Structure 1
Amino acid sequence: MNLRDVGGLRAGGGITRERTLYRSGTLAHLADDGVAALSRLSLRRVVDLRDAAEVDANPSRLPAAVPVERVPLFLGSVTSFFAEDIGLEEMYRRIVDDSSDAVVRAVRAVVVDQPVLVHCTVGKDRTGVTVAVALSAAGVDRDEVVADYARTAALLPVERTRAVIDWLRAQHPGSTNLEQLVAGSPADVMERLLGRIDAEYGSARDYLLAHGLSDDEVVELGRVLVAR
């Protein structure tokens, strides 16, 4: 679900490399032909951003030889966001502020091995923020980063999404943010997140440096993701 190659995005005078960084939702429900198709991507690493409960409930189906790096990206459970009825902007703030070490670990995994696939359950929020920060730090044009994030809403399966919303609505009947949390990827939310990172740190590159990525790793991130 929601699998795509982030190659082909404008990056100043360059373009992001194809068959290098992929992003997706859960890999738990792949049929045999899906596993075979994934095998043909020749992945050298999968970065799983889900927490232990999500992984235990829905283990990934992967080609046997692909190493998986677990980088849980939330402090607390996914369901807590629905219980608190927070919006996407607050969720993303918590990711970049409270889970910065995990964001750096995930980006470092992209630097170390390619082709690499980064995923969570839907491939929208944890994956969306991580990939957006990585692409921004690599020098990808802001409008391209935001457009890649915003694509997700149109790629989610309609029937599955409606079933998830109905199930969660029964548990949280008063929620005002539920639909957006489940299926929204508004461009303006990502615009504001990246703008806030710029305002607080100077750039996505500086954000990663402030939280432990080295100068050499940031340079290498740009080299592996962008052809100039």
Structure 2
Amino acid sequence: MKGLRVACLLLGLVAVAGCTTPPLQQGRAGAIDSAFPSRLDADSAARQFAQVVSTVEPVAERYCRAARADRKCDFHIIVDTRRRSAPNAFQTLDDNGEPVLIFTLSLIADMRNPDELAFVMSHEASHHIRDHLSRQRANADTSARQYGQAAASKGASRAAIRRAVALGAELGARSYSKQFELEADYLGAQIARSAGYNPLRGAQYFQRLPDPGEEFQSSHPPNAERMATVRAALRQN
């Protein structure tokens, strides 16, 4: 578990988990949705995280080495211990181009079972395996250049050109974001299954989140489409 210090994680979760409680899911009649158990206690959440890391990480690295020519597949899994960080998980790169997966304590505490955590972890690993960061940067650069050239061709001022470039970069970075999320869901479901988890149960985490399909200009696809993508991935051997 190259990016994980379990002892520090255990102490961190005991110190801060449970300080804030997420809104309870409400049914149409206002009753608490009993389909989702309450969040784990701090010790259980820490043990669950360590167990999922130990089983998902080697599988993700195996998939990565089979897919990436550069073999940058030494995953480092890190916990963001800041108390006020919102529930979140994301992928980035270290100075050597190796993948880093970062999880906030509040997200770890909100994972109701190992399948949910394994699916989220596999999803984030899939962003690296599918090289989404580089593809996003390329889209942003292309769009920024096009917007800047268009503004310049119309005789825009330097300030207006800079604004056009910034807008183009933002739109370019978002242009395939939903596609990238679905790609990560698809491959993530296969990684989680190979690691011994139930991706369909894990993807039920979506049902506790606001549906991005209902939000204007959301960067994430609708929950129903994500669930359909997971089911499609599991039909593949």
Tell me whether the two structures share a fold, i.e. TM-score over 0.5: no
Which has a greater percent of helix? 2
Larger Rg: 2
Greater RCO, CA 8 A, separation 6+: 1
TM-score by length of 2: 0.28
